[in-house]
A and B are shown apart, each in its own frame.
Chain A
Amino acid sequence: MKARTMGRHVRESLKSLGRNSWMTFASVSAVTVTLLLVGVFIVIMMNLNQLADNLENDVEIKVIADPAADETAVKELEKQVRSTAGVQEVVYSSRDEELDKMIQSFGDELSLYKQSNPLGDALYVKAKDPHETAAIAKKIDTYDYTSQVVYGEGKVEKLFKVLNMSRNIGMVLILALLFTAMFLISNTIRLTIVARGREIEIMKLVGATNSFVRIPFVLEGIWLGVLGAIIPMAVISFSYYELYAQWEPKLQNELFQLLNAMPFILQVNGLLLFMGVFIGMWGSFMSVRKFLKV
């Protein structure tokens, strides 16, 4: 295709936005409303996901060494645990530190145990993939010098189950929303094209090729998508930025953290723009197809 023709297509598609201003308005509104919904939903889902990740990553295995084991034996155990497949991080805590922790939680009465500490040294183990926790714990339990392995058995599995379920529900909802958006928008665009079926018919009768007919419509779809994405992008960027500025300092030490505003806003905007463009393009493409059989 000649560059001049492409220029014509771009001009025509822009002109047609103005000529069919009501239809443009209808399509852009449809894109705006749906993308706004999808955008808000994505922001919520991504943050909940972040919370879920934090919860999962908070899961750790506490390995208590045999109190009878001497220093070299504990070192040996630590080495063994470190080299276990799937282990990400091991933090050593001596039996005295362990006792201090207990005294802190349960009170000074326990101080008398300082004379002869009955506790063993402890290793705090984090799995690379939190879902592997149970398997790793089981493995570590078989090592010599391990006296006890604690990881919130049962509770952890339940937590993972709930988190997984909420993630899946979120994905399904986002997909359903996207599907609705596509349907709604392609229908609106179809209306605008039906109104112009005559134009397409005449183009075909004077010898226009299918792509010549289609390209201006597809470009128009892209503009509709871009125009429709502007308001959702602005609203979501602004609100999230404000929300982040307001709440982030208050959530400093909480398990629930907001995703950092900066790359996140850009990512969401990129995604919304892409969805707008894709939906507009796809909607036009599918709708024009029906009218090309003249």
Chain B
Amino acid sequence: MIVMKDVYKKYPNGVVAANGINVEINRGEFVYVVGPSGAGKSTFIKMMYREESPTKGDILINGINLATLRNKRVPLLRRQIGVVFQDFKLLPKLNVYENVAFALEVIEESPKVIRKRVNEVLALVGLTQKARMFPNELSGGEQQRVSIARSIVNVPKVVIADEPTGNLDPDTSWEIMKIFEQINALGTTIVMATHNKEIVNTMRHRVIVVEGGMITRDEDEGVYGYES
């Protein structure tokens, strides 16, 4: 599903954010990526949806090699991946329904399919009643649910989440995590960068620890923790 081979990333300012990463994530897995700030977690995540390209090494997602992927083909990669962000990244001028439908309009789905899929995912995240509301009328947790709905509406094989609970209170974080569990139960691979120790230690899944641009620990059913 996701394979990284000797991935090395050096930013123009000299920072080495990935220093020989090797990892393999299988279909249907749920993986936490933990580590201190500035350890290369974000770069690790960003390279998966090609917001950053590796300086050296290969990244394979669904058999597509991101290292040799032409810029023109990047949209096709992104259609197979759902991305959820800490700051939700919703369009403030579109309502909940439109925000979710947007991801399908962009890939030129038919209106019929769009209606069906959007209603399905809004039901899944429990926002059917709030479909006509705008992002600024929603709570943080609700906004994150819209963002999750958008990320899965095109039925991606992988959902990548960059600290999805980073801006949320503990109760809301749990709600969000339950939705991710649900999505994972439906067979979608989930890769999640997080700082939330409680969640990682309670909802046990594979844990990858990134420190100094390297994977220092990789355990199934692991717990939160790193040395530095």
Known: A19-B93, A206-B102, A207-B106. A294 touches B150 (CB 8 A): no
A207 adjacent to B150 (CB under 8 Å): no
Q: Is A72 an interface residue (CB 8 A)?
A: no
Name the contact of A207 in the complex, choosing from B76, B91, B93, B111 (C-beta under 8 A): B76
Within 8 A of A (CB), among B93-117: 93, 102-103, 105-108, 110-111
Decide: A208 and B106 in contact? CB cutoff 8 A.
Answer: yes
| B89 CB within 8 Å of chain A | yes
Rounded to whole Å, the gap between the CB of B222 and the closest CB of chain A is 29
B89 x A201 contact (CB < 8 A): yes
CA distance A202 to B98 in the complex (A): 13
A residues 178-199 in Cβ contact with B at 8 Å:
198-199
- Return the contact of A212 from the options B72, B77, B106 (Cβ within 8 A): B106
B107–A205 touching, CB < 8 Å: no
Chain B residues contacting A205 (CB-CB under 8 Å) are 49, 51, 78, 83, 89
- Contact indicator A207/B78 (Cβ below 8 Å): yes
- Establish whether residues B91 and A202, one from each chain, have CB atoms under 8 Å apart when the complex forms: yes
Complex: how many Å from CA A203 to CA B75? Answer: 10
B10 interfacial contact with A, CB 8 Å: no
**A residues within 8 A CB of B93?**
19
Min CB distance A77 to B, Å, is 75
Instruction: Report if A105 contacts B (CB, 8 A).
Output: no
Whether A202 lies near B79 (C-beta < 8 A) is no
Interface string of A199-238 (1 = CB under 8 A from B): 1011111111110100000000000000000000000000
Interface centre among A8, A201, A208, by most chain B C-beta atoms within 10 angstroms, is: A208
Given contacts A2-B108, A4-B111, 19 further A-B contacts (CB under 8 A): A4-B110, A8-B105, A199-B91, A202-B89, A202-B91, A204-B78, A205-B49, A205-B51, A205-B78, A206-B103, A207-B75, A207-B76, A207-B77, A207-B79, A207-B107, A208-B75, A208-B106, A212-B106, A294-B51
The answer for the CA separation of A64 and B118 in the assembled complex, in Å, is 93
B108 contact set on A, CB distance < 8 A: 1-2, 4-5, 212
Q: Which residues of chain A come closer than 8 Å to B150, judged between CB atoms?
A: 206
* Secondary structure type dominating chain A contacts: helix
**Band of interface residues on B:** 20 to 34
Q: Give every chain A residue within 8 A of B76 (Cβ-Cβ).
A: 207
Q: For residue A2, which residues in chain B have a CB less than 8 angstroms away from its CB?
A: 108
Chain A contact-residue range equals 20 to 34
Nearest-neighbor residue (CB-CB) of B90 within chain A = A202
Q: How far is the CA of A149 from the CA of B78 in the complex (A)?
A: 82
A residues 14-35 near B (Cβ < 8 Å) are: 19
19 interchain pairs (CB within 8 A)? A2-B108, A5-B108, A8-B105, A201-B89, A202-B89, A202-B90, A202-B91, A204-B78, A205-B49, A205-B51, A206-B150, A207-B75, A207-B76, A207-B79, A207-B103, A208-B75, A210-B72, A210-B75, A212-B108
Which residues of A lie under 8 Å from residue B107 when comparing CB positions? 206-208
Measured CA separation A209–B110 after assembly (Å) = 17
The 8 A CB mask of B139-165 against A (1 = contact, 0 = none) is 000000000001000100000000000
Quote the shortest CB–CB distance from A217 to chain B (angstroms): 14
The answer to whether A206 touches B51 (Cβ under 8 A) is no
Residue of B nearest to A2 (CB): B108
What's the least CB distance linking B42 to chain A, in Å?
Answer: 15
Residue in B closest to A203 when the chains form the complex, CB atoms: B106
Residues of B within 8 A of A19 (CB): 93
A144 to B79, CA, bound (A): 88
In the assembled complex, the CB of A215 is this many whole angstroms from the nearest CB of chain B, namely 12
CB 8 Å contact bits of B48-92 with A (1 = contact, 0 = none)? 010100000000000000000000100111110001000001110
- Report the bound CA distance from A91 to B154 in whole Å: 84
Residues in B neighbouring A4, C-beta threshold 8 A: 108, 110-111
The 7 A-B pairs with the shortest beta carbon distances in the complex, nearest first, are A207-B79, A207-B78, A208-B106, A206-B103, A207-B75, A209-B75, A5-B108
CA distance A201 to B78 in the complex (A): 12
Inter-subunit contact B89/A198 (CB<8 Å): yes
Q: How far is the CA of A49 from the CA of B89 in the complex (A)?
A: 57
From B103, which residue of chain A is reached at the shortest CB distance? Answer: A206
